[in-house]
Amino acid sequence: MKAIVNNKIVNLHAKPDTTSELIDEVLYGMVVDVLEFCDESWVRIQTTYRYEGYCLKEKLLIDEEKSLKWQEEAKNVIIQNFSDILAGPKIQSTKIATLVKGSFVTIVEDSELDQEWAKVKLASGEVGYTRSYWVRQTISERVSEEEFRENVVQTALSYLTTPYRWGGKSPLGIDCSGLCSMAYMLNGVLIYRDAKIVEGFPIKQIEFDQIQKGDLLYFPGHIAMYMGDGLYVHSSLGGNEVSINSLNENHPHYRKDLATSITAVGSLFAKELVH
Which residues are part of the catalytic machinery? 176, 222, 234
Helices 176-185 and 145-157 cross at an angle (nearest 10°) of 130
Alpha-carbon gap, residue 115 to 53, rounded angstroms? 40
Residues whose CB is less than 8 angstroms from the CB of residue 154 and which lie 6 or more positions away in sequence, other chains included: none
Asked if 189 and 249 count as a contact pair (C-beta separation under 8 A), the reply is no
DSSP E strands, 113-215: 117-121, 127-131, 135-137, 169-170, 173-174, 204-206
Phi, psi of 64 (to 5 degrees): -60, -50
Give the single-character DSSP code of 132: G
Asked if 56 and 5 count as a contact pair (C-beta separation under 8 A), the reply is no
Alpha-carbon gap, residue 53 to 60, rounded angstroms? 14
Asked if 170 and 99 count as a contact pair (C-beta separation under 8 A), the reply is no
